[in-house]
Amino acid sequence: MDELRYQVDLLSAMNQRLTNDEKMYRLICDTSSNAFLYVDFVEDRVRTLANWDFFFPNVEINDRNDLTKLYSQVEEKYTLPLRELIFLEKTEMNTSSGIIKLKDGKTWVECETAILYDLTGNATDKVIRFKDISKFKNQNEELTYMAYYDMLTGLYNRNYFVRLLADFVRKAGDENEIVSVMFVDIDDFRKINDGFGLIVGDEIVQQFGQFLSGFKSENVLVSHFNADIYCIAIYKPSGSRSVEHIYKVIHQRVREPFRLSTGQELLISVSVGVAEYPEAAKTTLELINCAEIVMFKAKGNGKDAIKYFDAPILNEFLQNVNIETKLKGAVFEQNFTMNFQPQYYVKDKKLRGVEALIRWRDNDGMMISPAVFIPIAEKNGTIVPIGTWVIEESIRTFVDWKRQFDCHVILSLNISAIQYMREDFIDSILSVIKKYDVDPTELELEITESVLIENFKDVMEKLHILRDYGIRISLDDFGTGYSSLSYLKGLPIDTLKIDKSFIDTIVNDENTRVITESIIYMVKKLGFETIAEGVESKEQFEYLKEIGCDCIQGYLLGKPMPGEEIKQLLLDQI
Ligand code: C2E
Ligand code: CA
Ligand code: CA
């Protein structure tokens, strides 16, 4: 009996305390100048408290649907952040905050949230406190806006996007969901800026940003990182929120020109890299990095495309970073050597010349193929000193042979587009020619079609000047890329090298035979010499001889070899 009495007393005391507490909290609430919104996730209820009427006089909120009335009081660009503040169930610290501006144009409100969780970690309640900070805020309006948004496009800026993406990632971790990140980059944006000016560039960035903002929703974040780079994050992608769908809409949009305020119309294309949580990466920044790496891959594969993350792309990237680091530390004399591959006339199998090919052994003794490191050197600019070294080292060796054997052969040098683009390119070649007193008619520079595509007018001028000095020009890798026979006519070249990919299938593939035959027929008519590259078998040789190819280069007759071994070949010629 006593026991029961004790329980009743205890309960009544607790009850008393509860009402006292409630009174106290109510008093605090009522006298506070703040307004509160209370969200009950369990019951799916929303309630307002305290000074609500002061902030939102005509906005009565009784359930979730009424919130649209609240959003309608807020300036448009703040509605999405406000919605996120109200409904996001997981944040880093169980609290979050943001600043919104009301439609009256002068009231700034700071929103601070606190979330309660049950024992299993599910959000049960959330309180959002609205505090009027207009006095302080109007002075700092620009500054705060800039902290969250990008001024040019009105999209989230990079920092804020990263914060929101972190929330997506955390939520996806809890809910076993996917987050897709699309890294979107306008192709050849530099050309737009250079060709049309920065103002046009900005307008394109703005218009394209505005278009992308159409994808924004509770589960889709759209941001502008900088210049021509945008990033989109999608929580739980599917249907109209899938990467495929969004890309399709983007792709369709850029098929139409952008109309600028000047009345000009401009077409753009974009490259997109996609990485997904958790497959590609587990953290926010890694996820963005992966999407960026993949975007570069899409660019490398001819732009105007979408590419999805996979492990080989990442490995290749990591390998390239490694090579780039090694390349920067490489010491020319110690790590690089030149090899020379012989080229022969078909008619009498006499030595026509040699192609200089660089070899790189890194400090660990590993051979790294030029097919791998030259493109990296071109990107980071180290191709310039490497190219200079190649020219000097090859010509030095060549002159040494000539001194020993009175031979007339040609030295072919591979020259990268970056080298041609340099203003001092011709002078640097001429100075080496002078230094070693080499006959310019025995020098041949190999160019690829990409060199011409990049900077046609400038390169053409340079080629004409080089040829005026007697230097030969050869078009390398013909048949890969943009090749068209008709444009060959106007080119200042002496030699055309038919790419190995043709030679590989020449014996068995009827189509390749027809194409190769017509190339050789046309090219001979234009007066150019032809060299077939990568000839490995007798059958290929015989066939090329039959269709009138002038020269052969390939493993069948000789692999690339050190200069010392070339001496033996020269000796055999005498
Ligand atoms: P490339 O100019 O097309 O050079 C021909 C490549 O084909 C060389 O590869 C050569 O070893 C290989 N090759 C020749 N005959 C055969 C054959 O019968 N079978 C096979 N499987 N391969 C054959 P390498 O030396 O690995 O060079 C690769 C590329 O790297 C070159 O392609 C060239 O674009 C670039 N490169 C090499 N050295 C230099 C250089 O000094 N400067 C620049 N800018 N690029 C260079
Ligand atoms: Ca070559
Ligand atoms: Ca080639």
Q: Using one digit for the tens of pLDDT, what is the confidence trace for 452-501?
A: 877 788 899 999 999 999 999 999 999 876 656 777 888 899 999 999 99
Q: pLDDT by residue (tens digit) across 144-203? A: 677 788 888 889 999 999 999 999 999 999 999 999 999 999 999 999 998 899 889 999
Helix spans in 32-157 (H): 52-55, 67-71, 76-87, 134-148
The per-residue pLDDT of the chain, averaged, comes to 89
Q: What is the pLDDT of residue 8?
A: 62
Cis, bond preceding 57 (omega within 30 deg of 0): no
Report the percent of the chain where pLDDT is more than 90: 57
Report yes or no: 206 and 152 within 8 Å, Cβ to Cβ.
yes
Does residue 275 register a pLDDT over 70? Answer: yes
Does residue 36 register a pLDDT over 70? Answer: yes
Report yes or no: 208 and 154 within 8 Å, Cβ to Cβ.
no
Closest CA to 206 of 189, 233, 224: 224
Overall pTM > 0.95: no
Report the percent of the chain where pLDDT is more than 70: 92
Query: Which ligand 1 atom is the nearest neighbour of the CA of 387?
Result: 42
Q: Average pLDDT in the 210-233 region?
A: 94
Q: pLDDT by residue (tens digit) across 222-254? A: 999 999 999 999 999 999 999 999 999 999 999
Q: pLDDT by residue (tens digit) across 38-57? A: 989 888 888 888 888 888 88
Q: pLDDT by residue (tens digit) across 290-310? A: 999 999 999 988 899 999 999
Query: Which ligand 1 atom is the nearest neighbour of the CA of 390?
Result: 41
State which CATH number among 3.30.43.10, 3.40.190.10, 3.20.20.80, 3.20.20.450 fits the domain covering 327-573.
3.20.20.450
Does residue 93 register a pLDDT over 60? Answer: no
Which of residues 126 and 415 earns the better pLDDT score? Answer: 415
Does residue 92 register a pLDDT over 50? Answer: no
Query: Which ligand 1 atom is the nearest neighbour of the CA of 535?
Result: 18
Using pLDDT thresholds of 50, 70 and 90, give the confidence band for residue 123.
confident
Ligand with an atom nearest the CA of residue 373: 1
**Which pairing describes strands 472-478 and 443-447: parallel, antiparallel, or unpaired?**
parallel
Q: What is the pLDDT of residue 287?
A: 96
How far does residue 87's CA lie from ligand 2's centre (Å)? 61
State which CATH number among 3.40.50.1100, 3.30.70.270, 3.40.50.300, 3.40.50.720 fits the domain covering 149-309.
3.30.70.270
Does residue 265 register a pLDDT over 50? Answer: yes
Does residue 267 register a pLDDT over 50? Answer: yes
Question: CA–CA separation, 191 vs 63, rounded Å?
Answer: 53
Question: CA–CA separation, 496 vs 529, rounded Å?
Answer: 6
Domain extents in the chain: 22-138, 149-309, 327-573
Which class is domain 22-138? Answer: alpha beta
Lowest mean pLDDT among 113-117, 214-218, 259-263, 336-340: 113-117
Question: CA–CA separation, 450 vs 470, rounded Å?
Answer: 23
Using a 6 Å CB cutoff, which residues line ligand 1?
A: 341, 356-358, 369-371, 374, 387, 390, 414, 416, 476-477, 534-536, 553-555, 560
How far does residue 317's CA lie from ligand 1's centre (Å)? 22
Q: Average pLDDT in the 555-561 region?
A: 98
Does residue 342 register a pLDDT over 80? Answer: yes
Query: Which ligand 1 atom is the nearest neighbour of the CA of 369?
Result: 26
Pocket of ligand 1, candidates 414, 429, 451, 497: which has the most ligand atoms within 8 Å of its Cβ, to mutate?
414
Report yes or no: 344 and 557 within 8 Å, Cβ to Cβ.
yes
